[in-house]
A and B are shown apart, each in its own frame.
Chain A
Amino acid sequence: MKKFFLVILCLAVVSSVFIFAGGGKEKTVDEASIAWLKEAKLGKYVENSFDEKALYEAAKLEGSVNIYSYSSRVFKFGETFEKKYPGIKVNGFDMDSGEIVTKISAEQTAQNFVADVIFLKDVAVAYNVLVDKGLAHNYVPADLKKVVPKEYQEPMFVHHTSIQGFVYNTEKNKKEPFNSLWDLTKPEWKGKVVLPDPQKLSEFIEIYSGIVENADSLAKEYEKVFKEKIKLSAGIKNAGYEWLYRVLKNDAIIVGSTNDVSKAVGLSQQDVPPVGLTAYSRIRDMEKDPNLKFAFTENTTPVSGFSLNVVQLIVNRAPHPNAAKLLIHYMLGDEKGGEGYEPYYVAGNFSVRTDVPPIKGLKPITEMKVWSASPEFVWYEGQQVLDFWTSNLK
């Protein structure tokens, strides 16, 4: 019996070493990182001009660049990049934005530096978990500073803005089937609104946060639609939460992917098709499946959609910083769109470059009625929005 406990005791001691070892994960910029920043000319040591030739020469010595991307289109611009800059191989890897943040944190702790560039959504987390802690650095090529508005340069360089909007079935509806966001809380839409699940798709936390952040506009809109002042339900803070609450109470259908939304709404031969909220880029699904027939609303009040920023960053102590800079510059394309930006030059995306014209037949983003949530708001309120959602899933 004593032997038994002795064995257990030994194991307990060994175990505790492991468990408490990982405690202080927070990390300030250490000396190795400062040296690397100097060497890579990043942070406050960044160059004042963009010398493509010099960068290419330096990048050729590095030979390759690793990019973690939220989007599979990384393979497209990777391929054209390799053609334009022979001798530099692009290793693109696609994963969820959340996964990218988790992996970069892990790589930094393990000092196992793999990724050079990260390309992701969920800017609130990217800023607070990575940039603010010195685990990733912002980089704006000097020559782009004049064509990109300031707000897209700091604190993180935005690549493009993507739109998520409301869709309806065009086979059954000649015109947009609802006019206001509040219409979706009415009995006629009971069980007929398909929403992506923020428990599964974290970018929708940002979108639902946008709704809460714009509570005042929703309160005004309510008065317009129902001709009376909004009465908030018990325990609810504002009109934004009230909208979420009522839509959920109206038996909204929750699905796990934006793909499921466009299929639920868009498939032909439905008697009473629902409406839904999905990524604008799903419009391309109609080419992949001729049975899909849907369109995005344009006249919904107060807004017909939401915008999300996508950012690119250079990872702290990345092994190929010069190639990383060259790649980021390439990804922003040129004034016509350009090869590097081409995979993203599609309906629903808007370049941050003021010199790139919007897609033919589409309004520029400044004229679109969309909301975006500020990163600070998402960071401090986003989890509570998610909790609110979860607690109302009855």
Chain B
Amino acid sequence: MIKEKSAGIKNTGSLRAKAGRVRNYLRQPHVIMSILLLLILTFLVIIPILKMFYTTFVWQLEDTRLSRAAEPGRFTLFHWKRVFASVLSDTMLWTPLKNSILTGLGVSFFALLIGIFLAWLVARSDIPFRKLIAAAAVIPYMVPSYIHALSWLTLFKNERVGGVSGIFQYLTGIIPPDWVSYGIFPIIITLSLHYFPYSFLLVSAALTSIDSRLEESGEILGATRGYILRRITLPLVMPAILSSFILTFSRTLGVFGTPYFLGSPVRFFTLPTQIYSSINNRNSASGFILAFVLIGISSIIIYINQKTVGERKSFVTIGGKGFVVSRTPLGKYKYYILPVVFFIILVSAVLPILLLTFETISLYPGNYSLKNLTPLFWFGKGGTTFAEGEAGILRNPAILRTAWNSIRLAVISSIFAGFLGIFIGYAVVKGRKERLPKLLEQISFLPYLVPGIAFGALYLALFTQRIGPIPALYGTFTLLVLINAAKELPFSSRAGVTSMLQIGAELEEASEIAGARWGKRFRKIILPLSIKSAVSGFILVFITVMRELALVILLVTPKTRTLTTMTFRYQEQGYAQFSSAISLLVVIIIFAGSYIAKTITKTGEKD
């Protein structure tokens, strides 16, 4: 900053030169784009988060329940004291915080281990069934995460929470100790199995776009395999690895369902439980403060990440020349590796889906005889004696309408988020050393750190009234698209940045010299080259939006509700079969969606 200032003093005389510099600066496409994007993000991200901060310092109506001194609308430090310095602090903040961080680190470690291992196998080795493995490795993320928790309990439940014990105890007669059945251990395992697709998708996209000749030249120069891996391959995929670490870690910090499900029997609570509880009980201010704690932790992680990636030289891997991918032969090792891979697929993808499917066709839950099977929860006619007259979900017009609404929402949100991501990626990569794009990158990551329920509560508070030119958005489809796109920005912008990092500047420069205008350059060169990475971002967003519950639950109205918000009703009725069927329907839609997305973008691309 000081440097800039002194430079300014030197140039006081030449106003013209200065103006020219400003003009040149503003003329660069990525600068214009940065400013535009910054405006959008202010609206979608900055304002909600500032509002959140503001709320924590103001008495709320509900505070009259906690303190006689409360005067709604006036300034107070009450909420901060309540969270950080009261009898509650220990169980509301510190213990859950410790639990959250431990869970986050554990899950990141195992998820990345699995994800990178599979990514390398699929992208760079000659392991058989590559296509199958690649397809199966994304499935766990498509299955609602509570299904993994449910599968765990089916296998390893002990007597602690009553009910019937798990299959493990039935088969071996050994009672699993509490730490196996509940708490941090199963939470880390089930969430790792659920979240490894992040790192798999990002790392395999990065690996496939590295020209093998880079590695081969190392080989020719006499480097060992380990050396090549360490000095060539790893640095090239490092940005993708770090991105996946951040995505996995932050996501785990914010996740509510599985930790609650597996943790509450042994009173292992994480921060999101406290946030959910505060907001659910309309004590938003305390919930927001806890959300800021989460944001704080993740910001530290991002700062570290930027120090590592930002200052490292970035590598261009899609150059203007030909492109070769060679595969490492596994030899006899493949007989050891293949079973491991199949085991991972079995427990992370096949088993949960089988279990879910089975539940939707069981007349009575937990009964494994053939007589107990029924298609009625899917195809049953309404108005019969079955299930108190409830129609099967495929014959229920309300469900089908909602399904269509969900699909529309997921597609529109992911396209919107996807393009925002590519633009952000472009702005960030082109302006690597500049302040504005850097800020852009940081902002685009923020929503990811705000737990869904808190983000939803903020949008509800902000957009229920008309503000200037913006009409009250509450109850509109637009609001749902906006909040989903905003919340998923980190996926799409990460995907955007990752893909842009790999596109050589010479490609764009060449066409610039040839006289192509920026719009054309972007359309004809940048977009087609980045689309593959962008599509993985698109699919991730599509999947997340389809499954999202906490984020939108406060914002949906009867006309805009989504499939996942319908499961609650059946759970309340005691029909787990119906809610499982809806979950499975979501999974099927996700499968179809990602298949279509892949097919559309595959045209003209080699395997």
Q: Which residues of A contact B (CB under 8 A)?
A: 1, 3-4, 7, 11, 14-26, 66, 68, 71-72, 76, 91, 93-96, 98-99, 101-103, 106-107, 109-112, 114, 125, 129, 191, 194, 197, 199-200, 202, 205, 235, 253-257, 259-260, 263-265, 267, 269-274, 276, 282, 284-285, 288-291, 379-380, 382-384, 386-387, 390-394
Name the B residues within 8 Å of A205 (CB-CB): 281
**Partner-contacting stretch, out of B407-415, B464-472, B480-488, B506-514:** B464-472
Pairwise interchain contact A109-B465, C-beta atoms closer than 8 A: yes
| Cα distance A308–B242 in the bound complex, in angstroms | 51
In the assembled complex, B109 has its CB within 8 A of some CB on chain A: no
| Cα distance A303–B143 in the bound complex, in angstroms | 44
In the assembled complex, B568 has its CB within 8 A of some CB on chain A: yes
| Cα distance A103–B58 in the bound complex, in angstroms | 21
| Cα distance A3–B571 in the bound complex, in angstroms | 55
Q: Which residues of B in the span 145-203 have a Cβ within 8 Å of any Cβ on A?
A: 159-164
In the assembled complex, B342 has its CB within 8 A of some CB on chain A: no
Pairwise interchain contact A22-B281, C-beta atoms closer than 8 A: no
Given contact pairs A102-B282, A291-B365, a sample of 17 additional A-B residue pairs in the complex whose CB atoms are under 8 Å apart:
A11-B42, A95-B568, A110-B465, A194-B162, A200-B260, A200-B276, A254-B264, A255-B264, A257-B571, A259-B572, A259-B574, A265-B162, A291-B367, A387-B88, A391-B88, A391-B91, A394-B90
| Cα distance A337–B420 in the bound complex, in angstroms | 58
Name the A residues within 8 Å of B269 (CB-CB): 393
In the complex, the chain A residue whose C-beta lies closest to that of B46 is A15
Pairwise interchain contact A18-B575, C-beta atoms closer than 8 A: no
In the assembled complex, B1 has its CB within 8 A of some CB on chain A: yes
Most buried by A among B161, B267, B364: B161
| Cα distance A350–B58 in the bound complex, in angstroms | 42
In the assembled complex, B103 has its CB within 8 A of some CB on chain A: no
In the assembled complex, B318 has its CB within 8 A of some CB on chain A: no
Taking the closest CB of chain A, its distance from the CB of B388, in whole angstroms, is 8
Name the B residues within 8 Å of A197 (CB-CB): 264
Pairwise interchain contact B574-A284, C-beta atoms closer than 8 A: yes
Taking the closest CB of chain A, its distance from the CB of B157, in whole angstroms, is 11
Per-residue CB proximity of B387-430 to A under 8 Å, as 1/0? 01100000000000000000000000000000000000000000
Name the A residues within 8 Å of B455 (CB-CB): none
Name the A residues within 8 Å of B159 (CB-CB): 270-272
Once A26-B73, A98-B281, A282-B574 are accepted as A-B contacts, the answer to whether A394 and B276 lie under 8 Å apart by CB is no
Return the 5 tightest CB-CB contacts between A and B, nearest first.
A264-B162, A199-B277, A110-B472, A110-B464, A110-B474
Query: Can you give 24 contacting A-B residue pairs, CB < 8 Å?
Result: A1-B1, A1-B5, A7-B38, A15-B46, A19-B54, A72-B570, A93-B558, A93-B561, A94-B568, A96-B280, A99-B553, A103-B554, A107-B464, A110-B472, A111-B472, A200-B277, A200-B280, A256-B260, A267-B162, A270-B163, A282-B574, A382-B65, A384-B65, A391-B90
Interface of B is mostly: helix
Name the A residues within 8 Å of B283 (CB-CB): 383
Pairwise interchain contact A254-B47, C-beta atoms closer than 8 A: no
Q: Which residues of B in the span 1-44 have a Cβ within 8 Å of any Cβ on A?
A: 1, 4-5, 22, 25-26, 35, 38-39, 42
Pairwise interchain contact A4-B435, C-beta atoms closer than 8 A: yes
Taking the closest CB of chain A, its distance from the CB of B488, in whole angstroms, is 22
In the complex, the chain A residue whose C-beta lies closest to that of B435 is A4
Pairwise interchain contact A390-B92, C-beta atoms closer than 8 A: yes
Name the A residues within 8 Å of B475 (CB-CB): 107, 110, 112, 114
Q: Which residues of B contact A (CB under 8 A)?
A: 1, 4-5, 22, 25-26, 35, 38-39, 42, 46-47, 50-51, 54, 58, 61-62, 65-66, 72-73, 87-88, 90-92, 95, 159-164, 260-261, 264-265, 267, 269, 273-274, 276-277, 280-283, 364-367, 388-389, 435-436, 460-462, 464-465, 467-468, 472, 474-475, 553-554, 557-559, 561, 568-575
Once A72-B573, A94-B569 are accepted as A-B contacts, the answer to whether A269 and B164 lie under 8 Å apart by CB is yes
Name the A residues within 8 Å of B561 (CB-CB): 93
| Cα distance A19–B269 in the bound complex, in angstroms | 32
Taking the closest CB of chain A, its distance from the CB of B243, in whole angstroms, is 26
| Cα distance A94–B553 in the bound complex, in angstroms | 12
Once A22-B51, A254-B267 are accepted as A-B contacts, the answer to whether A263 and B162 lie under 8 Å apart by CB is yes
Pairwise interchain contact A383-B163, C-beta atoms closer than 8 A: no
Once A20-B54, A72-B569, A289-B365 are accepted as A-B contacts, the answer to whether A114 and B557 lie under 8 Å apart by CB is yes
Once A1-B4, A202-B280, A264-B161 are accepted as A-B contacts, the answer to whether A289 and B42 lie under 8 Å apart by CB is no
| Cα distance A18–B462 in the bound complex, in angstroms | 7
Name the A residues within 8 Å of B367 (CB-CB): 291
Taking the closest CB of chain A, its distance from the CB of B179, in whole angstroms, is 15
Pairwise interchain contact B436-A7, C-beta atoms closer than 8 A: yes
Pairwise interchain contact A267-B164, C-beta atoms closer than 8 A: yes
| Cα distance A34–B99 in the bound complex, in angstroms | 52
Name the B residues within 8 Å of A284 (CB-CB): 574
In the complex, the chain B residue whose C-beta lies closest to that of A91 is B558
| Cα distance A277–B167 in the bound complex, in angstroms | 27
In the complex, the chain B residue whose C-beta lies closest to that of A384 is B66
Name the B residues within 8 Å of A24 (CB-CB): 73
Pairwise interchain contact B162-A380, C-beta atoms closer than 8 A: no
Name the B residues within 8 Å of A68 (CB-CB): 558
| Cα distance A136–B461 in the bound complex, in angstroms | 19
In the complex, the chain A residue whose C-beta lies closest to that of B461 is A22
Pairwise interchain contact B280-A291, C-beta atoms closer than 8 A: no
| Cα distance A16–B568 in the bound complex, in angstroms | 37
In the complex, the chain B residue whose C-beta lies closest to that of A25 is B61
Taking the closest CB of chain A, its distance from the CB of B575, in whole angstroms, is 7
Taking the closest CB of chain A, its distance from the CB of B461, in whole angstroms, is 6
Name the A residues within 8 Å of B46 (CB-CB): 11, 15
Most buried by B among A98, A112, A270: A112
| Cα distance A216–B50 in the bound complex, in angstroms | 47
Cross-chain contact of B364 among A202, A274, A289 (Cβ < 8 A) = A289
Pairwise interchain contact A94-B88, C-beta atoms closer than 8 A: no
Taking the closest CB of chain A, its distance from the CB of B225, in whole angstroms, is 47
| Cα distance A94–B570 in the bound complex, in angstroms | 10
| Cα distance A157–B449 in the bound complex, in angstroms | 43
Pairwise interchain contact A259-B571, C-beta atoms closer than 8 A: yes
Name the B residues within 8 Å of A25 (CB-CB): 61
| Cα distance A375–B66 in the bound complex, in angstroms | 15
Name the A residues within 8 Å of B282 (CB-CB): 98, 101-102, 125, 129
Taking the closest CB of chain B, its distance from the CB of A286, in whole angstroms, is 10
Name the A residues within 8 Å of B436 (CB-CB): 4, 7
In the complex, the chain B residue whose C-beta lies closest to that of A267 is B163
| Cα distance A28–B22 in the bound complex, in angstroms | 52
Name the B residues within 8 Å of A3 (CB-CB): 22, 25-26
Once A254-B265, A257-B571 are accepted as A-B contacts, the answer to whether A98 and B280 lie under 8 Å apart by CB is yes
Most buried by B among A106, A111, A291: A106
Pairwise interchain contact B92-A23, C-beta atoms closer than 8 A: no
In the complex, the chain A residue whose C-beta lies closest to that of B3 is A1
Most buried by B among A264, A265, A269, A271: A264
In the complex, the chain A residue whose C-beta lies closest to that of B364 is A289
Taking the closest CB of chain B, its distance from the CB of A267, in whole angstroms, is 4
| Cα distance A99–B364 in the bound complex, in angstroms | 31
Pairwise interchain contact B554-A102, C-beta atoms closer than 8 A: yes
Pairwise interchain contact B267-A114, C-beta atoms closer than 8 A: no
Cross-chain contact of A17 among B461, B467, B568, B573 (Cβ < 8 A) = B467
Name the A residues within 8 Å of B365 (CB-CB): 289, 291
Pairwise interchain contact B163-A390, C-beta atoms closer than 8 A: no
Pairwise interchain contact A71-B572, C-beta atoms closer than 8 A: yes
Name the B residues within 8 Å of A265 (CB-CB): 162
Pairwise interchain contact B162-A274, C-beta atoms closer than 8 A: yes
